[in-house]
Structures are given as C-alpha cells and as structure tokens.
Amino acid sequence: MPNETIITINRKFSRPSAELLKPFSDIPTGYVVDIQERRGALDCSIKPMFDFPSIAGPAVTVQTVPDDNLAPYLAMDVLQAGDVLVIANGGWTGSSVVGDLIAGMFKNIGVSAIVTDGAVRDVAGLKKRRLPLALTPEGTKTPVAEITIFLMLAVLRRLTFADSELRQGRWHINSLRPVSRNLKGRAIGYIGMGRIGQASAALAHAFGATGLYYDLIDTLDRQRAAALSLRFATLDEVIEQSEIVTLHIPSSPAARHIINADVIARMQPGAVIINTARGMLVDENALYEGLKSGHLGGAGLDVFESEPPKPDNPLLQLPNVVVTPHIAGGTRDAFQTKMRAIFENITRFYSGRDLNNQVDL
C-alpha cells in the first residue's frame, strides 16, 4: 500500500491554523480511514494525535463531504489484499455503499477485516465471505454522559438564556430564581440503561439525583442499581413519574418517536426531555407543541430528526431549549480512546487473536 495516498473529493473545509496543528507536528501517521467533512474538524491528512502501533502501517486517507457516496469506491483503488479497512464514519446515505463494499470490493481484492464505529448494512455479505466484524464502542461513554448532565444543568438553570440576555445588557440576577431548579433531588427517568445510561446515572447520582429506568432487557446489577439510587420501572412509570426524561437507546423502527404527543401529554407538568442518543427518537413537532404550551419545562438536544436542523426549525427559537450540534461523543479524549481500541484490534487480527467486541454473525 502506498505511503502517501490522499484522495480528495469536493473538499470545502479550510485547513486548521498552524497554532492548532502545532501539538501534532511530530507525531507519526498510520491508519486507513474515511472521514466526512465536519466544520472545524481536523483535516484527515493531518497526522494523528498520538503514536499508533507500528503494525498499523501507512495511511490511506479519504476526504469527503456529507452525503457523498464516492469515497469508499475510490478507496478500492489503493487497498490491497490483506489490508484492514477502518470506517471512521459509516453514515453514508443513498445507495447501500457499505453493502456494495462488502459484496464487491471484499470479493475482488480480499480485504481481510472491517473495523467500524459506523453502520454496516450488509451483514449477510460479511457472513458469507467469513469476514470478521468488530465494533468500537470505546471512548464515547464518558463524553456523552457528561454532556447529558451538562444539558440537564443548562436547561434547569436557563444557562443559554441567561448568557444571551447578559450579552445584550440585561442583568437577571433575581428574575430567573422562580424558574431555576437544582439537579439535586430531581427524579430522572432513563429510557435505556446500557453503558451510556449507567455512566449518566452515576454522574447524576453524584449530584444527588435519584432515578428510575426502563430497558427492554434489564442487565443492571441490583446492588449497582441501589448504589446509584435507581430502580427498574415500566416505560409508563418512567414517563409519568420523572421530572427529567433522558434517552439512551439506539435507533430502530420500533423506537421511532418513542417520545410523541401522547407520551408528552402524560409527562409531569414542567418535565424536561434530554436527547443525546438519536434524533428519530423524538417527534420534534410534538416536542415543540409541548414546550410552547408550557406543559414541558424545557429540552436539551444534541441530536435532531434532520441533521443539521433547518434554520427555521421552531425548536431553535425557544428560550427553554438548549441545543448542541451532535457533539456529545466528540472530544479529543474520546477520539484517542477509540483509535487506540481500533488499532489494538488490528494488531490482534494480524497476530491471529480474537477481536475485541467482535460481532457474532
């Protein structure tokens, strides 16, 4: 594989400043990756932030823009038999690009494994060709849990409204007291109690909050639940008894609009909704009506049904809604942890060991 192969597709984002890149100037490269454009993100031809194992080999970087399905096909031109393809973002839209990769590229040139933190659609193609699939959940648990708590605090204390008002010369030293709340003592309802749900509950417990949670399969140890002041409940109980409802489940057809008009109507007056999971879980029209009517006290959203949200999205006009641009898992620390996990798996693959987090196909 060539040492320096850079394929650029419709590159629109500017190179970071020299000052921003300075800490990374002497760090060696070594990874095969596709990265979609993100405003303000490091150019993927820039060297990574830390040493990778030497076994990772030279880098092939593919730059693309959102909704551009060509990058994986161009990667075929430089990948060779025995290479490992790392998909850093599998969110391609339109035709089933990842499926085409598996059915076409893997068959023709014999790529040995695929490691991903994105979406793999053609699982049957992997199974047929006996290609191992490993997921990479590492790294995102902590930052997503932290921003979940941040959004709770920001909504409860009206932080973005207070910030905006102060910048316009309005000093609300007393007027926010009737509507501001502590996180301590709040009853938080968790829909989903996996890695991120548990990490969020641990942080909330440190603030003095209590909680109840619902999941399709309850895997939380009873002793651990008691230590975090949590109890398992039905979905209806979580909806009706919580002052804050926070979502921590993956997207699926069954989960679409799990927060809808009927659910919102049954929530406590003044309740808060937090979504750092997937935008499709919340019916945004119903959420807007619930907020506008005053039934809901606020919402903290890191994800949206359509991303990025349109400028005229009415949720963006409400002062009791705190929004962030799907950045919950996006920290330098999370990236380092994830990339270390990816290259640990590549090392394990080439040394004949089982992959961590390998999917049972």
- What does the H/E/C string look like for 301-351? ECCCCCCCCCCCCHHHHCCCEEECCCCCCCCHHHHHHHHHHHHHHHHHHHC
Catalytic residue from among 257, 326, 340, 348:
326
Q: How far apart are CA 164 and CA 162, in angstroms?
A: 6
Q: Which residue has the tokens 């996006």?
A: 330
Residue type, 190: Y
Q: Where are the alpha helices (DSSP H) in 185-331?
A: 195-206, 222-227, 235-241, 261-266, 284-292
248 labelled catalytic: no
278 labelled catalytic: yes
For the chain, the C-alpha Rg in angstroms (whole number) is 22
Catalytic residue from among 266, 307, 332, 353:
307
DSSP state of 32: E
237 labelled catalytic: no
C-alpha distances out from residue 253 to 176, 250, 281, Å: 40, 10, 10
C-beta separation of 134 from 356 below 8 A: yes
Q: Count Cβ atoms within 10 A of the Cβ of residue 38 and give its class: 0-12 exposed, 13-18 middle, 19 or more buried.
A: middle
Instruction: Return the structure tokens found at 82.
Output: 């025995």
Catalytic residue from among 181, 186, 248, 278:
278
Q: How far apart are CA 177 and CA 174, in angstroms?
A: 6
Residues assigned a catalytic role: 278, 307, 326
